[in-house]
Amino acid sequence: MSALRTLVLPVAEHSHQSDNMRFSAVVFLIAISGLLAGSVLIKTMVFQLETDTSYVEMVPLKPLNLHAFTLCMRVATELRGEREVILFAYRTGNHDELNVWRELDGRLSFYLSGGGVMFEVPQLGALETHLCITWDSRSGAAALFMDGRKSLTKIYRKGHTIRSGGKVIIGQDPDSYLGDFDAKQCFLGEIADINMWDSVLPATTIQDIYSGKRVLRGNVFDWETIELKVKGEVNVITREL
């Protein structure tokens, strides 16, 4: 972020002129500080069509052999009613290793090679939500964060390991290895700023990430450098965070 430059302004001789110039100087300084500060630009994936062919494959920085993780994303969708919506899918040859869903009843959930864990939280909507999920194999502790606020903790799949060797895709739920998609489960809306770590981040760090601070880049998925493989009708645009 650029530092604010020092501005030298003339001093008015008369009191009312001086007051006017002080006010103008304050407005000018605020405007200049905003310009110098700049904005963070991020990629955003826009899914507009209900299909069984459109998705984005994300290439990880390291194999997803995980005993713990934090997964964060920014998501917005206008999908309503009783409809499952896939938000994140990691599948190996025969297993859904890590899937994140909006359930039929609006709850959010994630699944690790079997039955899932559900969270009663406010429903996703057209206004962007920052969503994070944390899980630790040693304790089984699982939690969900929405816009920096933490849910209650649930115990889930204690001692489990997420296995490497699969593919991560956004937009579809693969019932086989990168195949057997169902258009009625596809994602419609925007997803951006997907980052993943191989540990459970502190709540304060997750809150900083929600507020837009680039405090810690993901070591499994780093959205700033990620390789995306776009298939079908998906638009990847750049916007301000």
Give me the pLDDT at residue 9, please: 38
> Which residue did the predictor score with more confidence, 102 or 5?
102
Average confidence score pLDDT of the chain: 87
Mean pLDDT of 42-66: 97
Whole-number pLDDT of residue 41? 92
As a whole number of angstroms, the distance between CA 223 and CA 44 comes to 10
Taking residues 101-105, report their average pLDDT. 97
Structure tokens at 65: 């052999």
Residues 144-175: tens digit of each pLDDT: 999 999 999 999 999 999 999 999 999 999 97
Question: Can you tell me the distance from the alpha carbon of 169 to that of 177, in angstroms, rounded to the nearest whole number?
Answer: 11
Lowest mean pLDDT among 26-35, 107-116, 166-175: 26-35
Q: What percent of the chain has pLDDT over 70?
A: 83
Predicted local distance difference test score (pLDDT) of residue 37: 46
Count CB neighbours of 6 within 10 A: 5
- pLDDT at position 94 is 84
Instruction: Give residue 130's pLDDT band: very low, low, confident or very high (50, 70, 90).
Output: very high
What's the mean pLDDT in 220-241?
A: 96
Output b/e per residue, 37-67; b: 16+ Cβ within 10 A. Answer: eeeeebebbbbeeebbebbbebebeeebebe
Task: Band the pLDDT of 176: cuts 50, 70, 90.
Answer: low
